[in-house]
Structure 1
């Protein structure tokens, strides 16, 4: 009985690991380092006009209609 339990435990452990690898939990976002976050914030601060240009055509279309 003890040998069967050990074999079953090993099998269950391997199957659990395989299932986790196939179906990872996606509730947690991918880690972004502090340096990467600072870099992204700097890029966003350097290009605020791009965000405004993306919204500008939508408002002009509404005014034309």
Structure 2
């Protein structure tokens, strides 16, 4: 009984992981605070140089 249970448990886990890969959530990817600040600085820099010209 234990061998069958272990095999079924392994197969179910693999099926669950495969199913999870197929269904993506609409949740956006996490961006760290430092990365957000860097991106904001990058977007601010070109607009400032455009106003100087």
TM-score bin, normalised by smaller chain: 0.5 to 0.7
With the length of structure 2 as denominator, give the TM-score of the two structures.
0.61
With the length of structure 1 as denominator, give the TM-score of the two structures.
0.53
RMSD, aligned α-carbons: 2.2
Pairs aligned (count): 48
Trace 1:1-65 onto structure 2 (pairs within 5 A). Answer: 1-26=1-26, 28-46=27-45, 47=47
Larger Rg computed on CA atoms: 1
1:41 deviates by 1.8
1:18 deviates by 1.0
Q: Which runs of 5+ in 1 are unaligned?
A: 51-65
